[in-house]
Chain A
Amino acid sequence: MLLAGGQGSRLKALTSKVAKPAVPFGGKYRIIDFPLSNCVNSGIDTVGVLTQYKPLELNAYIGSGQAWDLDRSDGGVHILPPYVQEDEKGSWYKGTANAIYQNLSFLEQYDPEYVLILSGDHIYKMDYSKMLRHHKETNAACTISVMEVPLEEASRFGIMNVDANDMIYEFEEKPKKPKSNLASMGIYIFTWSKLRKYLMEDEADPSSSNDFGKNIIPTMLADHEIMAAYRFQGYWKDVGTIDSLWDANMDMLDPTAGINPYDTEWPIYAQAALRPPLFTGPAAAIKHSIVTSGSEVSGTVEDSVLFHSVVVEEGAQVRYSILMPGAVVKAGAVVEYSIVAERTVIGAGAHVGADKSDDPEWGIAVVAQDLKVGDGASVPAGAIVTRNIKGVKA
């Protein structure tokens, strides 16, 4: 069960029209491709995707699930929006646990032994079948995937305190004085009968906020259910903020970062765009970047991530930036430390973002989709642009 209903408000302009899991990532992908591909590569063939906020583009993207080989006659991918229940008023998903509760009938239809709960806003590669094996071996009611984080950063995470056998005895959400450095990754495996029982009880409790981290996990711990921690080692990043999204994209350029998209053993699948190959013009200079089909690069591109159908005209410079599908950088424009969303045009000679500096105002500049930054205009570092910007006459 993939929780894909998050609004992603911290991604600001990038999620004004799409749900967070549908935000483009890493040249070829959208964020949701990572958990979906992990499912397929782990041998999971039945996936429910719980959507609610701005679902149009996400639903269209997932479609029949063909891109992930999830167009199955038995199982496959199912989009699960909130709906009006019998004899009741319908409601939006109130929390992560409520989202699953509202789809109990979907789960009952498949009557699984185990249920895997995922979130749609993390970039990582993980074999869930190994985690399931761990869950079975420990005979747990719930297994939570954890990873070690630096102790000084532990207070930003949900921290699991475990015994010598990695069994969880305590859960602390963002503790001021963390006792361990094992952070929850928001990936849970439940034994279905237990999950069902706790979801029903949680729903009956009017004071609950119907959230896995705040309610279900603490209640199960209080009931002394067997709760196992499953240690994950490898690349994992929450891309919920502009900075972390930019960082994770830049990690795609680093062969040592641990998120290798060229690994044929664990491919990440995506709905493909039908475009001819990338054309690099006679004056193109591309260094340390990833570039995607349908693009035409005639200028300079360094340390950047270019999605499909991007145009970088001659004399334009793109550095440390992310250009989403269809973005155009006109001749002589400079784009640095920026994210330019789909189909936005940066006019000739315009300047977006600024080189990294110690200025507290400095940050990644973001230009939302379908906008035009006029010729010669300037967008300062850290700006979030949601309207067209007029050109400046030379």
Chain B
Amino acid sequence: MPSAPTKLYADDVSLLVVLLDTNPFFWSTSSLPFSKFLSHVLSFLNSILLLNQINQIVVIATGCNSCDYIYDSSLSTNPGIENGKLPALCSELLKKLEDFVTRDEQLNKQQSQSLPPTTTSSLLSGSLSMALCYIQRVFRSGPLHPHPRILCVQGSSDGPEQYVAIMNSIFSAQRSMVPIDSCYIGSNNSAFLQQASYITGGVYQKPQQLDGLFQYLSTVFATDLHSRTFLQLPKSVGVDFRASCFCHKKTIDMGFICSVCLSIFCKHHKKCSTCGSVFGQAQSDVASASNLKRKTPET
């Protein structure tokens, strides 16, 4: 934790946990080269540290096969600012990032020997969980602590197999009032990140011009939580909360839910494919009809 005296913690001191997508499958197809992207992000991180002397930054890399912490401003060789050592951030972060990417690649090679590469999504659930653990530690450090928030800079598409884990993280973040901001630089919108930002009260933004990424980051995501109340930040355009059925993966408006395991089906089945319970006939229509009959005389 920063060594600054605790009384300095005001409303506008932030702890920003940045989750960087380092998925090679995405960056090889992206119009913005990874090196350019990094220079945008590094300037952004530096500007956060400049906004307040005791702001804190943690960077977690979200890889394709693993996740790891790559930078923690409270651990770095501080106090660097008066020694003119500001670039320490860049060199330290870049070195760790390089290590991480090499390790991630090796894991990928091991993986592809045993199994063909099936998914090209990043392990967002892992880095979200790690970020939340770190934030809990900051909460434990005492009554005065910087205000934490999470920023996901994500490019690769959602991995459906992470759905439950990501939702668990989102609810945990919501409970501890940690907003999840998301800056999505991929081609289509990410349903996971839209939901994450909507549920936790964060900002979801999909930059139109990737060349101006730094401007998006600094104007939308650099403001601390206290100042956000005075700003007009981008509003969500509408989040799709419809579910997709387990049997055909179709997005549905109306469907059937197994009362035992809450699996979603688009039509009536005799047996639940997830938990194996055998269903009686669809009673819900009958039940709701009788409910209606009971309610009408009252109103």
- Do A and B interact with each other, yes or no? no
Residues of A within 8 A of B (CB): none
Please give the residue numbers on chain B whose beta carbons come within 8 Å of chain A beta carbons, in ascending order.
none
